[in-house]
Amino acid sequence: MCGIVGIVAHGPVNQGLYDALTVLQHRGQDAAGISTEHEGTLHTRKALGLVRDVFHERHMLRLKGNMGIGHTRYPTNGCASSAEAQPFYVNSPYGICLAHNGNLTNLAELKEQLVSHDRRHLNTGSDTEALLNVFADELQRQSNPVLTPQGVFAAVAGVHRRCRGGYAVVAMILGHGIVAFRDPNGIRPICLGRRDGDLGPEYMVASESVAMDALDFRLMGDIGPGEAVYIEAGGQLHRQQCGAPRSYTPCIFEFVYFARPDSIIDRISVYKSRLRMGERLADKILRERPDHDIDVVMPIPDSSRTSALEVSHRLGVKYREGFIKNRYIGRTFIMPGQKLRQQSVRRKLNAIDLEFQGKNVLLVDDSIVRGTTSRQIIEMAREAGARRVYFASASPPVRFPNVYGIDMPTSRELVASGRSDEDVARLIGADWLVYQDLEDLVRAVRYDNGDIIEFDTSCFSGRYVTPEVTAAYLARLEVEQCEEGRAQRGRDMPEAEEDDDAESDEVLAESHAGAA
């Protein structure tokens, strides 16, 4: 999962891109990058680390220009290294920078096509680099020597024909404008906003609407499945459907965990959907345990707080904040590597003993994925004096790998895979465990938007919305992940490079003069 943003304005966009990335930091904490264009010259700063650590004053001063794109990275393909921080760049045609959120499921096939047929060189294992080269190749094929909106949309249509998986993309074509598009299934989110100024309208695209709110852009709506938006450098907006939508199936895990509660995604309020998750979860608890002995309901901060509050209200049980979060520790689920996740839980949370002592506590979390965090939190609750510890998940059991951009690639990593609820409860140390039913989760999220009938629920249901994800595909993916894990254990994790003014820290591409 990553955060992407693009802005076309009538003044400098460097500060706006930085502010938007800080708002989208929850979507990726591995690396960050910004690319801007000024008078035909590309300016890029990208490195490992949080947004606040990657960009210093000297970098911001160099990011000149009235249009640019930005990215916060959470690695699912390739590796956690500065070489794969985004945006990526190719100099032909025109000069293109690209950043994306999601995962291509036919990456091996694309690489073969790009190398053997299109004669393009790939320097990393990132699917973003492959996607960029596909887009560049399709743009190169356009017969008109002058770049037009129709030429851009034809290139996007070519990307949809060749690429499979879930992806939301923002790309900057130097000297021309910014294009943004979404996979034909609408799996990964991206929205469009507008801000009116004295010199005319300015436009912004971003993964979540909260980035629009922070910069005072008015949300115009979502980019639809298979749709593309092209914003010329002068501020002219063009929209076109570039391929028949295969479905409209947004990833439901965005609403469960990834998105901020103050976001609107596909016209659905994330906050309201989480409230309804809590309502339905409480109803299930009352059905299964009408004579429960729960003394207090506590959330696992932060993403489960909204659901937990509604569970408490519905059960008629006290709500208390039993864990205090250290906000300077990243989200453990999206940290690269299991070892880092395990080390971070106790540094991240601290229990308030007085709220636990002698009580039967219901802990509410948004989901249980690997079980590592849940097990350690339950241990902390017992150490704080809880008499019994019950655990409730606002989402169903995660039993299948996600292949569309979330780092849960193999079933062997998932605590619920092949296990009953009782088995999972025993493994994480809970006295009782209750999961949300999938049907209730879908109803809770779908409530606001009648246009969306289905969601991508593959990690819960094992039903994948793209046909190339078969049992054979998943088996091959598991083997590859095991081999990658063994290789990774045999070497040290790469460390962030010293931050200095070296040429490698600041990529300045030469001036471009139209078509290649």
Q: Which residues are catalytic?
A: 2
- 116: Cβ contacts below 8 Å, ≥ 6 apart: none
- Give bridge partners of residue 58 from the DSSP assignment: none
336 CA to centre of own chain: 14
Please identify which residue in the block is written with the tokens 């219901």: 362
Q: Which of 217, 223, 224 is nearest to 9 (CA)?
A: 217
User: 271 with 216: CB under 8 angstroms?
Assistant: no
- 395: Cβ contacts below 8 Å, ≥ 6 apart: 253, 256, 257, 277, 366, 367, 435, 436, 441, 460
φ, ψ at 88 (rounded to 5°): -95, 160
Pairwise CA distance, residues 503 & 300, whole Å? 44
Q: What is the largest CA-CA distance in the chain?
A: 76
Pairwise CA distance, residues 413 & 72, whole Å? 25
Q: Which of 312, 302, 225, 192 is nearest to 258 (CA)?
A: 302
User: 5 with 230: CB under 8 angstroms?
Assistant: no
Pairwise CA distance, residues 379 & 376, whole Å? 5
Pairwise CA distance, residues 388 & 129, whole Å? 50
User: 346 with 379: CB under 8 angstroms?
Assistant: no
Would you state the structure tokens that stand for residue 455, as one six-digit string? 């969601």
First to last CA, the chain: 33
Pairwise CA distance, residues 515 & 503, whole Å? 27
Would you state the structure tokens that stand for residue 54, as one six-digit string? 């990657």
φ, ψ at 192 (rounded to 5°): -125, 140
Q: Are strands 388-393 and 360-365 parallel, antiparallel or unpaired?
A: parallel
**Read out DSSP for 86-109?**
S-EEE-SSS-EEEEEEEEETTHHH
